[in-house]
Structure 1
Amino acid sequence: MSCEKRKFECTALPKGWQREEVPRKTGLSAGKIDVYYYSPDGKKFRSKPQLARYLGNTLDLATFDFRSGKVNSLLMRKNKKQRGTQFDYSRGIRNDASLVPPIRQTASIFKQPVTVYKMQEGKVKTDFKHGTQEKPKQLFWEKRLEGLRACDADGTEFDGMELPRVLKPVGPHVGEETVLQSVATALHVSAQPVTGQTGSRSALERNSGVFLNPDQPLMQAVSVADDDIKRQEERVQAARKKLQDALKKSLVLAV
């Protein structure tokens, strides 16, 4: 496999657009290919949403495959079936007209005060046999966030983070990017300890719908020892010391 960058014309985009393939050389994802696009004036684009925001209404990218740089026939057939669905790449939201709840039109007479007379007491009892009913959670919903990254004020996307080697993804076609989003969501939303998936890797790959715990991130189970906490505290103290020294130097220079 070649480890050099490759750049060539992209025929699926207007004349002058170029597509670049850059292999990763370090980290757990070494060998993975990152794809970038360059406009005729040299502006770099890292994702399909960013590309769509730049092109606007001049080109329909609904059937454009960002990874391969070609028009995907499968996406074209899917797009024809979902005529009532539109995707706003600038916001990352899918608008489906079939999912919009109908608005109930109420006659003005029903807006007047009404007196209720009960003829008999209701005999319906609330069943608490199974406890509080919670809304079911979708499996692998974090994969919908793949390819979307935070941007600065100029629209340039921030580089992705590299996870520690101990955090290993589990589940079909789950990569580092999905694991990072899954862990961040669990730390932000979940009130229970974040431990990862306790099921075996082979069981999760064979039947994720049965063995996957949706309350935990899509990574193998990890345990944090006291030594790990101590090393992290030492790194935090060292970073604070460097910041303190830098502030002192800046104050001396200002005086």
Structure 2
Amino acid sequence: MSIEKIRSECTALPKGWYKEEVIRQSGLSAGKSDVYYHSPDGKKIRSKPQLAREVGDMIDLSAFDFRTGRMLSGVLRKSKRLKGTQFDYARGVRNDASLVPPIRQTASIFKQPVTVVKTQNSRVKSELKHGPQDKPKQVFWEKRLQGLHASDINGNALESLNLPHNFKSVGPHVESDTLLQSIATSLHTSGQPITGQTGSKSSLDKNPGVYLNPDQPLMQALMVSEEDIKRQETKVLEARKRLEKALQVFAEA
């Protein structure tokens, strides 16, 4: 089958991109043409979603006509008026937050308009997220650290800190070491206040997978009083005095 190739520079795309139109000269498909685009580094693009992935954020292709290689001004003006509408070229679907069933669609098999009717009242969520999704945190994931201890240079396990008596763990078989690791991890990674589990102990023991908040440590809710703060300040002052004396002894030696 003989073909004819016509190459031209595409001004709608960044510099270095050009369009190639392949026209079939014989056969049953004579007269028909296929359109391709070539990147500056020689990569051949066969579809608009692939082109969008290659161009990235350099240019908005919402009004780009893949066959002609031009920006359609009418489509561009219309796309500016449609707020809340985004086109995901990677999947080839349109996400419109204003659409509410029933929606008028076209069946790809019969090529006839059909109406989608849902029995339940629902709305398309406006806070649709694209790209990589946040991985949910597993419940009781801290238990994987159970049995692990920090060691000194000689390999001897260091003693764990003793938590105050009012620190109560929640969850099945959660020991004091696991509770300490859970609190330390929350203080290090969480940007929200650490309050502990707000659910009642009976509900947590009955069904922890439902009532447990994975963003909070594995402890019952605890309120810090003014007396607790004063006692902690006293301990800090005493520790500073001991450190000051130790530094004086070290300087005199």
The alpha-carbon deviation at position 247 of structure 1 amounts to 1.5
Q: Which residue, out of 90, 94, 111, partners 1:124? A: 94
Alignment of 1:37-186 (within 5 A): 113-116=42-45, 118=48, 119=66, 124-125=94-95, 129-130=126-127, 134-186=134-186
The alpha-carbon deviation at position 137 of structure 1 amounts to 1.0
More helix by share: 1
* Letter of the 2:205 counterpart: E
Q: In structure 2, how many angstroms separate the alpha carbons of the residues matched to 1:171 and 1:113?
A: 59
The alpha-carbon deviation at position 186 of structure 1 amounts to 0.3
The alpha-carbon deviation at position 227 of structure 1 amounts to 2.3
> What is the TM-score with the length of structure 2 in the denominator?
0.51
The alpha-carbon deviation at position 163 of structure 1 amounts to 1.0
Q: In structure 2, how many angstroms separate the alpha carbons of the residues matched to 1:213 and 1:240?
A: 37
> What is the TM-score with the length of structure 1 in the denominator?
0.51
Bigger mean CA deviation after superposition, 158-167 or 192-201: 158-167
**Residue 217 of structure 1 aligns with which residue?**
217
Q: Pick closer, same or farther for the CA change 1:165–1:251 going to 2, 3 Å.
A: same
What is the aligned-residue RMSD (CA, Å)? 2.6
Equivalent pairs counted in the alignment come to 144
In structure 1, runs of 5+ residues without a counterpart are 1-111
SS at match of 1:125: strand
Q: Pick closer, same or farther for the CA change 1:131–1:231 going to 2, 3 Å.
A: farther
Q: In structure 2, how many angstroms separate the alpha carbons of the residues matched to 1:157 and 1:115?
A: 60
- Who wins on radius of gyration, i.e. which is larger? 2
The alpha-carbon deviation at position 126 of structure 1 amounts to 7.4
SS at match of 2:94: coil
How many percent identity over aligned positions?
Answer: 51
The alpha-carbon deviation at position 115 of structure 1 amounts to 4.6
The alpha-carbon deviation at position 226 of structure 1 amounts to 2.3
Does residue 1:204 correspond to 2:204, yes or no? yes
Q: In structure 2, how many angstroms separate the alpha carbons of the residues matched to 1:131 and 1:223?
A: 37
SS at match of 2:150: coil
The alpha-carbon deviation at position 250 of structure 1 amounts to 2.8
**Residue 81 of structure 2 aligns with which residue?**
none
Q: In structure 2, how many angstroms separate the alpha carbons of the residues matched to 1:212 and 1:159?
A: 29
SS at match of 2:153: coil
